[in-house]
Each structure stands twice: as structure tokens, then as C-alpha cells.
Amino acid sequence: MHIPDRETAFLALGNGRLWGVAPIPVLVMLALFTLTAILLHRARFGQHLYAMGGNREAARFTGIPLVRIEVLVYVICSMLAGVAGMIHAAQLYSAEPASGAGFELNAIAAAVVGGTSFTGGRGTMLGTLIGAMIIGVLDKGLNQAGVHFSYQYIVKGLVILAAVYVDVSRRGR
């Protein structure tokens, strides 16, 4: 579905600038980053999430409502994915359901490269943000170098493997 070219608030969400300087998608990302960082690191909800990720059984024994927290996590993730989808559609001037295919690999790579443990219970918002920047630079660099997309997946997979290896070796000490 093509989105008309006229200027709308929806299109400004993906392409607009505040005062002609700051890109609105970056401002949305920073606002959501701040909100979720506070939720994760300063609220009881975040403590419960880290407890669940570190040892689910121990979290259950401490009285954490696992099902309720888990459902809330899925709801929050769905809302954030919806915001990202709206920004992506506004940037493309098109709402194509398959246009986000493969983005999940970038999300996993960003989290793992940023220091989030595959085994759970460890990770920070700032680390994930740095990981996302690294993956973004890697994506842009590989695209500009003309590397075929199938090889790009291999490179990202190797980066994930290296990050997991570092995490496992760090935990082994």
C-alpha cells in the first residue's frame, strides 16, 4: 500500500525534523530508550525481569508473578514493534508487510553484541544501544562495500557467534 506524498504527521514521524535539526525518529528512539531504561533499571518490574532471566525457578519461589510479568513483556515488545513499524512505513512511504523481514537478526545481534547474555539475567540498555549502533554501522558498511546480502547474513552470524563466545568465556571465569 503506497502512502501519498503529501506532508502528514504520519510521514513526519519517519522523515521529519524538529526545528529543522533533530530527526524525529531519533527523538522517538531516545524518548523510548529513556522510558524503558527507567522501567528496566529503576522499577520493580525491571528487577523482576532480571530475576526471571537469571533463574526462573528461583524467581517463582520468591513470589514474582511470572505469567503476568511475561505477558506484560510481550505487550510492551509488541507496542515498541508497532512504533518501529510505523516509523519504518513512514520512511519508506509504503506499508509493505514483508519490508521488515530479517530485522529480527539485527535485533538479536544488537542485544548480544551489546553484552546481553543468551542465558539470561545479564544485559543493559546502554550496551544494547551500543550494540545496535555497531550492527547499524556494519550493515551500512557492508551495503556500501557492495557485499551480497546472503554474505551479510554470514558476517552477522559470525559477529553473533563471537559475542556469544566472549560471553561464555567471561562467564566461565
pLDDT for the residue 31: 93
Q: How do residues 102-129 score in pLDDT, each as one tens digit?
A: 788 888 888 888 888 776 667 778 888 8
- pTM equals 0.75
43, 90, 109, 135, 139 from 152: Cα distances, Å: 38, 25, 12, 11, 8
Q: How do residues 67-77 score in pLDDT, each as one tens digit?
A: 898 899 999 99
Please give the average pLDDT of every successive group of 10 residues along the chain, which has 173 residues. Answer: 65 76 86 90 86 81 88 92 87 80 82 78 80 89 88 86 81 66
